[in-house]
Structures are given as C-alpha cells and as structure tokens.
Amino acid sequence: MNWESNVRKVVPYVPGEQPSASARLIKLNTNENPYPPAPGVEEILKEYDISLLRKYPDATCSPLVNVLAEKYNVKPSQVFVGVGSDDVLAMAFLTFFNSEKSILFPDITYSFYDVWAELFKIPYKQIPLDEEFRIRPEDYKAENGGVVIANPNAPTGVFMGLDGIRQILDANRDVVCIVDEAYVDFGAESTLSLLDEYDNLLVIQTFSKSRSMAGLRIGFAIGSETMIKYLNDVKYSYNSYTMTSLTLALGVEAVKDDEYFRNTCEKIVKTREKLKEDLKELGFEFQDSKTNFIFAKHESVPAEHIFTELRKRNIYVRYWNKPRISDYLRITVGTDEECDILVRNLKEIVK
Ligand SMILES: *Cc1c(COP(=O)(O)O)cnc(C)c1O
C-alpha cells in the first residue's frame, strides 16, 4: 500500500492541438470561429478599468446572466453561467446525475461525457448511433439515471429535429435530460423552445464557437428555476468565483451585438455549404452538417493518410483512430480563403 492506491485516477479528455500562435498554419482542428469577437468586445477590453481587478468579481455573474435572460426570453433565475460549457456540463453532471442507474448518451458524441462520468463515478451506458450516425429516440426509453444529447451532435454534425428530442424528453420525465447545443447557432433549431413544457430539460450553450470567444471561456445553461438553483448550490460549494470580472464585462458586450453575431454565423453557414459541394466533388461522403464543421470520409483514400498529408502542408484537421470513426476527418469551417486552400491541397492528396 502506498499513497497512489488512494489517488482518483482518471483518463483525461484529449483536446485538439493548439500550436503556438506564431505558427503559420491553417487551423481547422478545434471548431474555433475564424472571425474575431464582436467589435464592442475590443472596445471594452481597451477601456477596462484595471483597478477593478483588485476586487472579487460578482459571484452571481448577474450582468451576464441578465443579458442572456433577456436575449433568450427567460427569467434571470433560469440562467447559469460558467467557465466555458465544459465547466457548466461538469457542474450539471455533478448536480443532476446521482442515481444508481446509468446515464445514457450516444457511443459517438462529445468525448468529454464519459470522462466526467468516470471522474464523478456516475454509471453510464453508451448507445450506438445508427449507420447514418443518427440518434434513435426509442433507444432512450430504457430505465436510466439521466440523458445527455449533443444536438447537433459532435463530431458527426448531425442534427436531430425537435420531434426526436421531444420523444426523449417525454420518455424521461423523471430524470434530467441535458441538451448540449454547442453548435446550434449554425442553422439548427434550439430546444429552448420546449423549456416551458419540460421541467426536466437543461439546455447548455457556449460562446466558444458562434461568438468567437473560445479563449475567454464562457458557457451557460438555461432550465427551470429549480434546476438552476440546484446548479448554483453545487457551484457555491465548489468555487464561488468561477467567472472573472473582465470575462463578465466582455461576455455582456458579445451578447449585446446581435447583428454581428448573426452575420458571422451566416457567413460560416455559407462557407460550409460551399465546402460541402467542393468535398463532394473530390469524392468525400458525409452526413449533412448543421454545425461549423464537416465530418467526412473519402471514398478511397484513408483518413489517416489525408490527415498526415494535410499536416505536412500546415493544414490541421481532427482525426480519431477510434472504432467506427477511424475513416473520418472532422474539418472545421474556416474563412472562404482557408477553405479554398484546403480544397486545393485535398485535390492533390486524393487524386
Ligand atoms: C466545444 C464543445 C463544448 C465545450 O465548449 P466550451 O469551449 O467549453 O464552451 C461542449 N460540447 C460540445 C459538443 C462541444 O463541441
């Protein structure tokens, strides 16, 4: 016996590579937004009164909670914010999944879910997606301790309509169902519209993708007042000051500029649709994506080869050598120029 037998041992989540900022490359591997945050964010940053950093931030995060409540037409008491949606998701797992029964999520989905389940010792079961990478709502009718669905799903990009979500919510009235909407702003439909009907629904979103703020770390959850109260109880039992005062100020500004937000998302959707056509022409196959990435497989050239060749040319995409998805590459939608360079290089690699 030594101290190591008492360690909480975990196999951590592996994030996509973040090469140094000075490296000249086309980075399409972590679903970041290619455009800068809203112009107002830069203004606030430049004018920020540094003496405010002397004080603790507002533990309730009320400025950010209030603008989000207004934007999504809910009460401030229905909004919870955290250090990226990873923090919000982790808090939600810790708060709501305390059953002896397994929580359910797809076998191919955000690879942090099983890591949190392991970390918090939550039993879980991974439900296979069908051959077309679709979630079958009927698979979630088994007894369980909670449900987690990324919608649109990652890394597949596949969106499930609200009919399917509704079926899952209806079958699971007595457990919490989390819908992770990290990519919802790129043309999918939000489950937020079902909030009034389901008190077991928690919707989680992030500023990292559609608001170009992955580096600032802001995520949020919207649910019933009771749910949000329980989340806050856990947060205040763990770390009261999760969000810095600077983060709160910059986050507020990002939400205020709705026009910039909508324009940026529209640009990405347009580039994505063009990239779909180009990839198809090159012999790639993929399910339709409603996100800022495309999960594609080539008809003849192995994904690992394409991944390695792209890397040599300083173009980064994401590849997982995992069962069922080892033929696929996840390609983030960049600017038009970045996607053109990608397509030019792919043409040489797969010809
Ligand atoms: C990116 C992502 C997140 C986490 O985003 P944060 O940067 O932590 O806000 C959560 N879920 C999914 C499915 C994601 O792709």
- Is it the case that residue 247 has pLDDT exceeding 90? yes
Across all residues in the chain, what is the average pLDDT?
96
Mutate to test the pocket of ligand 1, among 14, 68, 81, 85 (most ligand atoms within 8 A of CB): 85
CATH 3.40.640.10 domain locations along the chain: 39-256
What is the distance in A from the centroid of ligand 1 to the CA of 5?
Answer: 32
* pLDDT for the residue numbered 19: 82
Determine the angle formed by the axes of helices 245-256 and 258-281, rounding to 10 degrees: 80
Bridge partners (DSSP) listed for residue 318: 330
What is the distance in A from the centroid of ligand 1 to the CA of 85?
Answer: 6
* pLDDT for the residue numbered 14: 86
Q: Give the closest residue (by CA) to ligand 1 atom 12.
A: 182
pLDDT bucket at 17, cuts 50 / 70 / 90: confident
* pLDDT for the residue numbered 180: 98
Name residues contacting ligand 1 (CB within 6 A). Answer: 31, 84-86, 110, 150, 154, 180, 182, 206, 208, 214, 219
What is the distance in A from the centroid of ligand 1 to the CA of 165?
Answer: 19
CA–CA separation, 79 and 243 (whole Å): 14
By mean pLDDT, which of 22-36, 221-235, 291-305 is the weakest? 22-36
pLDDT bucket at 24, cuts 50 / 70 / 90: confident
For range 286-295, the mean pLDDT: 98
Question: pLDDT tens for residues 40-96?
Answer: 999 999 999 999 999 999 999 999 999 999 999 999 999 999 999 999 999 999 999
What is the distance in A from the centroid of ligand 1 to the CA of 252?
Answer: 19
- Is it the case that residue 226 has pLDDT exceeding 90? yes
- Is it the case that residue 277 has pLDDT exceeding 90? yes
Choose which CATH entry (3.30.70.580, 3.30.300.30, 3.90.1150.10, 3.30.530.80) describes domain 19-37+259-350.
Answer: 3.90.1150.10
Query: Cα torsion for 142, 124, 242, 181, to the nearest 10°?
Result: -50
Which CATH number does 39-256 carry?
3.40.640.10
Strands 284-286 and 103-106: unpaired
Percent of all residues in the chain with a pLDDT value above 70, rounded to a whole number: 100
CATH 3.90.1150.10 domain locations along the chain: 19-37+259-350
Q: What is the DSSP string of 294-340?
A: EEEEESSS-HHHHHHHHHHTTEE-EE---TTTTTEEEEE---HHHHH
Mutate to test the pocket of ligand 1, among 108, 180, 186, 330 (most ligand atoms within 8 A of CB): 180
- Is it the case that residue 1 has pLDDT exceeding 80? no
Q: Give the closest residue (by CA) to ligand 1 atom 14.
A: 182
Question: pLDDT tens for residues 189-205?
Answer: 999 999 999 999 999 99
- Is it the case that residue 3 has pLDDT exceeding 90? yes
CA–CA separation, 213 and 310 (whole Å): 26
CA–CA separation, 24 and 194 (whole Å): 44
- Is it the case that residue 243 has pLDDT exceeding 80? yes
Atom of ligand 1 nearest to the CA of 153: 13
